[in-house]
Amino acid sequence: MAFLKTQERTKERFSLLLLDLEEYYFEQHTAYHVPSSFKKDQRRTRGSFKVCSRSIIFEPDDLAEPILKIPLRDCQKIEFVEEGKNPFNDPRPPAVSVSCEQVIYIKESNVLAPYRNERGSKQLTFHLEVWSKTEDVVQTLLQLHRASRLEKLGDQTAMIAANLQSRLARASFDKNYFQQVTERPHMECAVEMVTPLVSNPGHVCITDENLYFQPLNGYPEHVIQIKLHSVRRIYKRRHGLRPLGLEVFCTENDFCSDIYLKFYSTTDRDDIYFYMASFLENHVTEHTADGYMLQWQRGHLSNYQYLLHLNNLADRSCNDLSQYPVFPWVIADYTSTQLDTTSAATFRDLSKPVGALNRERLEQLLARYQGMPEPRFMYGSHYSSPGYVLFYLVRVAPEHMLCLQNGRFDHADRMFNSIAETWKNCLEGATDFKELIPEFYGSDCSFLKNKLSLDLGRRQNGRLVGDVVLPPWASDPSDFLQKHKAALESQYVSEHLHEWIDLVFGYKQKGDEARAAHNVFHPLTYEGSIDCDSIGDPDERIGMLTQILEFGQTPTQLFTSPHPQRITPCVPNITRSPSVNSPGGELSPASQNEDSSFEDLTEESRKLAWANMGTLSRISSHKIHKETVTGIAVTQDGAAVFSTSQDSTLKMFSRELKDFQRSMSFSNMALSSCLMLADGKTVACSSWDNNVYFYSVPYGRRQDTLMGHDDAVSEIRWFDDRLFTASWDSTVKVWQCASDGSSSHKRSEFQLLAELEHDAGVNTISLNPAGTLLVSGCKDGAVSIWDTSTHKVLQQIRCHTGTVHHTAFSPDSRHILSVAADSCMKVIDVQTGMMISHVKAEEEQRCFYWDGNSVLCGGQSGDLLLWDLLSSTVTKRIPAHSGAVTAMWMNDLCTTVITGGEDRQMILWKLQS
């Protein structure tokens, strides 16, 4: 959980949350708190004396003693008491003497509870362990005391800022903290590390290997290091409405970053951002809203992951409570004993903001809106603010709530007591329009439990505030989160989530569309509504900024046109009749049953086959070649299997005799691929000798030769009467085939229609099912998409760092999957050319078939691997060859697979029912 992660680095009782908002912790000294009237038998209390911009904090070493906080504004006198003698003739060290009107006691008896404020004249004396520092500390406190007593808040802030900048200017990053002596620093500057509600000043230094942050005060540790190679995402942030933030993530999907830095200059921020972006460009993909949208539409991202990414792109951060990630309420039923996710009535209307869900309340708000002077707004509070975030998380982040509310918890009846009550108030409350936060869809249920046994007060009904009361349909907090997550991923929400995105991140966020959707909030919540730097009066500027930050902010607008709906195919009924499993793909003797199975192909049957792909079992294996198998083709009736090999031969295997019957050699060089032409009587083979050979099955001999390239022909494809040939000479050629019509075995004429130029040798090609698009993969890692009617390149994507082994379109032609020598599997959107999925495998994948989501791959190890692209995981590994799998064939029904490998074997596989 985000709040817990930000405090993992320290186990101290002291926290920056003990400071006031916008306060800085400057320095600490080991010291002793002694009674002002010194007596020899009185006990001194050892601890840490902390100098902060608006207070003095003393943290005793004894955990039973309370932490003392002395606001500087309440101090009457701060003075340096010189070294002297006491009545017992013992040397008396110099002291810091503080006369004040208020002392705040925190964590008394080491119990986390509301602070106790004790008013009245008090005198406190502190002896610093290092005597020589006492006078300097007193001078610093006097300066800060003068700032705290200034009448205008703007003057106070300016004086404290001057003190801070002076400290930062006198210090610099200590390069002794470099991990390697060979590291080369690129840039160093003053920054603040931002965590929820607090900022910690220090210096950032970026080298050719690491990003370092060194806090000015040495808290929570002397230096924080992030390896650049571990960084996965970086985002520019607006902090305090100014473009000064930079957030760094070392994970793909976690919504809590590894560090959030606020710079004092946009130029400094941009310099480090571009340096990191340049460093990362080779192994980190640039993330855009449109790219994530495409992944989500096709099911490569869950609803939860997609919303997290949109929040990140829209400047939402778990380190900034005024811009915390926002998630929707999706369930509207918190009273039933069973949650029915098949009923639309169970769900909230995602096309409306929370304030418009109750028609009666909306009419009252609209009446007020109509009579309001410009600028008008419908809702006086926002759907996300620091107060709302901590309302939900008070049980795991009590110190944050105490920090936000001056050491107090909220009234017991206003606490987060019940899920159902909170939803009811959001529907009916006059000023309550809040949405949810990511924790409601996570796996950590601790925010629903009072594990810390906090005294959160007693409600008017006499009940103590304890664990959050759950809906009747949830047996415990874990069950609640599990069902809540399932609801977010349900078909209903998937079909309607785009409507909520339009309201929060999209085109209904502002302007006429927002007004029509009853989605108008206070003007100060919108980005760019006011320029705080243009306000001349410092007090007015600070007041305006504070109001904006505490009130909440609308996310950065990501979409200006309607967001498309998710493609949510219905899950087919997997109950099948025995007739569907007819022996059509079994490679057993030909029969009428097999023919009819091919005629009765349906999309559902393919989906069912892919859902059952993990049950693939070996029928037989045959070693019929002397070198690596490079291509497999099967006759229409399934009676014969043809294969090519680097041993330069084309061989025919009879399924009836279970042995090879024919062998043909066209040259002394390797054959690279083969395919069966539409006439069912001709096999075409490509060769490393730059030619394409045509073999007549009925006549058992070579029928034709096409000499078309200046280097090896790597792969061939056929559609209608056109032949597509790929070559290592960096071209793909398109040929028109026209028979002379005299007889089927005579030479055909090939007319060159087009020559598709590439920057490197072409290793693989593939056509979409309609034959309108061609994809080519090259030795330099580039993938290109071509229009086969105009012969023009539509997209060229340099997505791999090694030779592309295989490419193929998804069945709907919207995406392309490619595998390469860099062991990466990448999914590309055909329309935009954007990479929407990236999987790094443990080994090279050499060939594959896929249905758009699941992929059956032949690996370098010789195994067959079934990949789930949605989760980027291998769901089944099937031992197959003793060398790399180099060729693969699958029938149209997806029930029969044939593989060939470096081990010279051909293996026949059948899908089990």
Question: Quick one: which of 98, 142, 143, 138 has its CA closest to 121?
Answer: 98
How large is the average pLDDT for residues 231-236?
90
Tokens 């990949």, residue located: 867
Q: Is 69's pLDDT higher than 90?
A: yes
How large is the average pLDDT for residues 630-645?
92
* Token pair for 440: 């409601």
758-838 matches 174-286 in CATH topology: no
Q: How confident is the model at residue 22 (pLDDT cuts 50, 70, 90)?
A: confident
Tell me the per-residue pLDDT of 173-182, one tens digit each, with 9 for 90 and over.
999 999 998 9
The CATH classification of domain 174-286, taken from the options 2.30.29.30, 1.10.3300.10, 3.30.450.20, 2.30.110.10: 2.30.29.30
Q: What is the per-residue pLDDT for 594?
A: 35
Average pLDDT, the chain: 88
188 vs 600, more confident = 188
The one-character DSSP state at 5 is H
CATH superfamily name and code, 321-551: BEACH domain (1.10.1540.10)
Q: What is the per-residue pLDDT for 242?
A: 84
How large is the average pLDDT for residues 684-696?
95
**Lowest model confidence (mean pLDDT) among 289-303, 455-469, 496-510:** 289-303
Q: How confident is the model at residue 600 (pLDDT cuts 50, 70, 90)?
A: very low
Give the C-alpha separation, 315 to 247, whole Å.
10
Q: Which residues contact 769 (CB under 8 A, 6 or more apart)?
A: 809, 811, 813
Q: What is the per-residue pLDDT for 59?
A: 96
Give the C-alpha separation, 664 to 660, whole Å.
12
How large is the average pLDDT for residues 401-430?
94
Q: What is the per-residue pLDDT for 651?
A: 93
Contact 231, 249 (CB under 8 A): yes
Q: How confident is the model at residue 1 (pLDDT cuts 50, 70, 90)?
A: low
Q: What is the per-residue pLDDT for 11?
A: 54
572 vs 754, more confident = 754
Q: What is the per-residue pLDDT for 804?
A: 97
Q: What is the per-residue pLDDT for 733?
A: 97
Q: Is 803's pLDDT higher than 80?
A: yes
Q: What is the per-residue pLDDT for 699?
A: 84
- From residue 701, alpha-carbon distances to 525, 637, 749 in Å are 78, 20, 18
Q: How many CA atoms lie within 13 A of 583 on its CB side?
A: 12
Q: Is 761's pLDDT higher than 70?
A: yes
Contact 493, 485 (CB under 8 A): no
How large is the average pLDDT for residues 886-897?
92
Q: Which residues contact 1 (CB under 8 A, 6 or more apart)?
A: 256, 396, 439, 442, 444, 446, 447
Q: How confident is the model at residue 641 (pLDDT cuts 50, 70, 90)?
A: very high
Counted residue by residue, the chain has a size of 913
Q: Is 753's pLDDT higher than 50?
A: yes
Annotated domain spans of the chain: 2-168, 174-286, 321-551, 591-754+839-911, 758-838
Per DSSP, the residues of 530-579 read --GGG---HHHHHHHHHHHHHH--PPPP--SSPPPPP--PPPPP----GG
Q: Look up the CATH architecture of domain 2-168.
A: Roll (2.30)
Question: Quick one: which of 175, 144, 179, 180 has its CA closest to 162?
Answer: 144
Q: What is the per-residue pLDDT for 603?
A: 66
* Coil, helix or strand at residue 296: helix
Percent of the chain with pLDDT over 90: 69
**Residue spans of beta strands (DSSP E) within 196-343:** 198-207, 210-215, 224-227, 233-239, 242-249, 259-263
Q: Is 405's pLDDT higher than 50?
A: yes
Q: What is the per-residue pLDDT for 533?
A: 64
Q: What is the CATH number of domain 591-754+839-911?
A: 2.130.10.10
Tell me the per-residue pLDDT of 811-836, one tens digit each, with 9 for 90 and over.
989 899 999 999 999 999 898 888 88
Q: Is 41's pLDDT higher than 90?
A: no
Tell me the per-residue pLDDT of 603-613, one tens digit each, with 9 for 90 and over.
677 788 888 89
Domain 758-838 bears CATH identifier 1.10.3720.10: no
Q: Is 184's pLDDT higher than 70?
A: yes
Q: What is the per-residue pLDDT for 536?
A: 65
**Burial of residue 370, with CB atoms counted within 10 A of its CB: 0-12 exposed, 13-18 middle, 19 or more buried:** exposed
Q: What is the per-residue pLDDT for 550?
A: 77
Helix (H) or strand (E) holding 269: helix 266-280
Q: How confident is the model at residue 688 (pLDDT cuts 50, 70, 90)?
A: very high
